[in-house]
């Protein structure tokens, strides 16, 4: 029974993840082209424009990313669930209208603040419109996720992402509009993605506005706005501090490294997307969930920890292969940022108790403490070091957030799964040792010698995982491999 339930969760994770990974890999195959037309400084400008999205989205989304999940599951009635989607959408129309008006009025000031030059104010205006359509898409994305329509979600998100890539190629490469082309291409692609999600949702979601639903969305959403701002501070405040003390070239290198390292966000987001409705489905069956969720956490650490090791392992050859020489130093942060995203998934595993107890405000407390640590480290360390320190601090922030969340669970005596901590700690130590060895090797060895040792590191990591598994788990893995071989050889 447990095996069946775990398989169900990771099947959903695979469906959500494969589409996103396909999109990301396509964008990476185009990186040699884009880095031939855009300089490190151009990528620095793009990074700071992205800063606007990451700052505005948490505020003007009104915390609906969390509150919609709480309100949505308060009733099994489809009319109620439809009203959650449409009520959120209508409220967000007003929110993004305010964003656009205020952003247009302050575009020159924002350009001076972020890019030290008022000439980028048009870029700011266009990117704010892109951000607004991204916010408006959110209720439709969540509708598909909550209804577990993974295939529809993947089709819509993949098509939208591909449209952004194609329009970027058109305006940056073909028409050679530079950063302005990237801004225009992203805007058109985002609008296209918005209408795709709308088409997938509108048929099975009757239009209905509910005042009670709207009030509850705002009630649970507003307290979460600080939470998202704290997340923004953890992940992106380092960029702002960096541009205060260093040139945009370094920020461009960070942006390229983040493009690679944040690929880890795709499987983590896929897991998290499948995880939320999955653990909510056990809200009335908590006893069965105790053992099941503990096993899921261990398998998350084993599988996603291995992925994090792979990012450290393949960062250098990937950056050398897909970018121009001026971007090659970006490999130093790829694995570090991937490890940070791994901790985001750990944090999400620890959220079950606060959701079951409806004490989601505790998330904001945890994230505030983590954000305060990150901002303090940014302030003192970024003036002294290069772009690599941004990634290190981000990962410290997400790691702190995970540990503190579990500490809160224990102190508040919230519902928790049964964790096999000795086994978990052994796995963590093994991964930690491997990551240190691989990172030092990538920084000190020549590229040729490092590439020759890569298979050794990979096999060694797999051997450590295998030794950490119980006999029963090994037999399960072998049986699954045998089953796959029969399926694809018959």
Token pair in block for residue 326: 């001026």
pLDDT at 435 over 80: yes
Query: What is the phi/psi pair of residue 181, to 5°?
Result: -65, -40
Per-residue pLDDT, averaged over 245-269, amounts to 87
Per-residue pLDDT, averaged over 70-74, amounts to 82
Query: For residue 75, what pLDDT is reported?
Result: 82
Token pair in block for residue 289: 């969930």
| Of 370, 363, 342, 341, residue with least CA distance to 414 | 363
Domain boundaries, the chain: 1-37+246-423, 38-243
Per-residue pLDDT, averaged over 30-45, amounts to 82
Per-residue pLDDT, averaged over 314-320, amounts to 94
Per-residue pLDDT, averaged over 370-397, amounts to 95
**What does the DSSP 8-state code read for residue 283?**
T
| Of 249, 186, 231, 243, residue with least CA distance to 48 | 243
Most confident of 107-116, 238-247, 327-336: 327-336
Most confident of 135-144, 210-219, 334-343, 362-371: 334-343
pLDDT at 66 over 80: no
Cα 168 from Cα 177, distance rounded (Å): 10
| Of 8, 16, 28, 73, residue with least CA distance to 280 | 73
Q: Which residues, other chains included, contact 182 with Cβ-Cβ below 8 Å and sequence gap of 6+?
A: 38, 46, 168, 171, 172
Query: For residue 6, what pLDDT is reported?
Result: 58
Between the alpha carbon of residue 375 and those of residues 190, 232, 236, 342, the distances in Å are: 31, 11, 10, 21
Query: For residue 29, what pLDDT is reported?
Result: 64
Query: For residue 117, what pLDDT is reported?
Result: 85
Contact 85, 144 (CB under 8 A): no
| Of 389, 354, 397, 353, residue with least CA distance to 372 | 397
Query: For residue 360, what pLDDT is reported?
Result: 80
Token pair in block for residue 157: 């998100």
HSE-up of residue 382 (Cα within 13 Å, Cβ side): 26
Cα 470 from Cα 277, distance rounded (Å): 29
CB neighbour class for 348 (10 Å; exposed up to 12, middle 13-18, buried from 19): buried
pLDDT tens digits, 330-362: 999 999 999 999 999 999 999 999 989 888 889
Cα 298 from Cα 293, distance rounded (Å): 9
Contact 276, 442 (CB under 8 A): no
Contact 397, 373 (CB under 8 A): yes
Give the total residue count for the chain.
490
Cα 281 from Cα 278, distance rounded (Å): 5
pTM reported for the whole predicted model:
0.76
Contact 136, 194 (CB under 8 A): yes
Q: Among 277-286, 348-357, 365-374, whose mean pLDDT is lowest?
A: 277-286
| Of 277, 339, 279, residue with least CA distance to 308 | 339
Rg of the chain (C-alpha set): 22
Cα 122 from Cα 110, distance rounded (Å): 11
Contact 400, 373 (CB under 8 A): yes
Query: For residue 5, what pLDDT is reported?
Result: 59
Q: Among 71-75, 295-299, 336-340, 348-352, whose mean pLDDT is lowest?
A: 71-75
Token pair in block for residue 96: 């993004």
Token pair in block for residue 239: 């960029």
């Amino acid at each position: 029974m447990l095996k069946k339930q775990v398989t169900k969760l990771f099947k959903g994770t695979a469906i959500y993840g494969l589409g996103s990974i396909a999109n990301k890999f396509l964008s990476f195959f185009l990186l040699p082209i884009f880095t031939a037309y855009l300089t490190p400084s151009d990528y620095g400008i793009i990074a700071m424009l992205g800063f606007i999205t990451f700052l505005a989205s948490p505020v003007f989304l009104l915390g609906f990313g969390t509150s919609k999940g709480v309100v949505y599951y308060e009733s099994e009635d489809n009319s109620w669930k439809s009203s959650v989607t449409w009520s959120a959408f209508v409220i967000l129309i007003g929110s993004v209208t305010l964003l656009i008006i205020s952003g247009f009025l302050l575009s020159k000031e924002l350009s001076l603040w972020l890019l030290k030059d008022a000439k980028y104010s048009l870029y700011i205006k266009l990117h704010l419109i892109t951000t607004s359509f991204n916010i408006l898409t959110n209720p439709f994305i969540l509708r598909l996720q909550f209804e577990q329509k993974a295939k529809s979600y993947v089709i819509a998100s993949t098509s939208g992402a591909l449209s952004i890539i194609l329009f970027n190629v058109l305006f940056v490469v073909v028409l050679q509009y530079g950063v302005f082309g990237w801004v225009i291409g992203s805007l058109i692609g985002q609008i296209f993605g918005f209408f795709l999600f709308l088409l997938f949702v509108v048929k099975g979601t009757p239009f209905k506005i509910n005042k009670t639903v709207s009030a509850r969305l705002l009630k649970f959403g507003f307290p979460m706005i600080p939470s998202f701002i704290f997340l923004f501070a953890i992940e992106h405040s380092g960029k702002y501090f960096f541009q205060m003390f260093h040139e945009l070239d370094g920020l461009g290198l960070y942006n390229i490294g983040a493009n690679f390292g944040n690929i880890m966000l795709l499987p983590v987001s896929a897991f998290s997307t499948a995880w939320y409705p999955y653990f909510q489905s056990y809200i009335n069956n908590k006893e069965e969930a105790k053992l099941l969720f503990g096993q899921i956490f261990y398998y998350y650490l084993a599988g996603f920890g291995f992925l994090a090791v792979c990012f450290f392992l393949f960062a250098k050859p990937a950056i050398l292969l897909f970018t121009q020489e001026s971007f090659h130093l970006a490999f130093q942060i790829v694995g570090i940022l991937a490890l940070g995203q791994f901790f985001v998934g750990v944090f999400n595993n620890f959220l079950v108790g606060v959701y079951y107890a409806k004490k989601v405000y505790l998330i904001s407390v945890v994230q505030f403490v983590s954000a305060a640590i990150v901002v303090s480290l940014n302030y003192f360390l970024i003036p002294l070091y290069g772009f690599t320190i941004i990634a290190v601090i981000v990962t410290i922030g997400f790691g702190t957030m995970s540990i503190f969340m579990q500490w809160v669970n224990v102190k508040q005596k919230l519902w928790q799964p049964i964790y096999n901590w000795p086994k978990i700690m052994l796995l963590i130590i093994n991964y930690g040792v491997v990551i240190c060895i691989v990172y030092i090797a990538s920084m000190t060895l020549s590229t040729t010698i490092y590439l020759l040792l890569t298979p050794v590191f990979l096999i060694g990591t797999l051997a450590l995982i295998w030794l950490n598994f119980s006999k029963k788990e090994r037999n399960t893995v072998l049986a699954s491999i045998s089953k796959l071989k029969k399926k694809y050889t018959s």
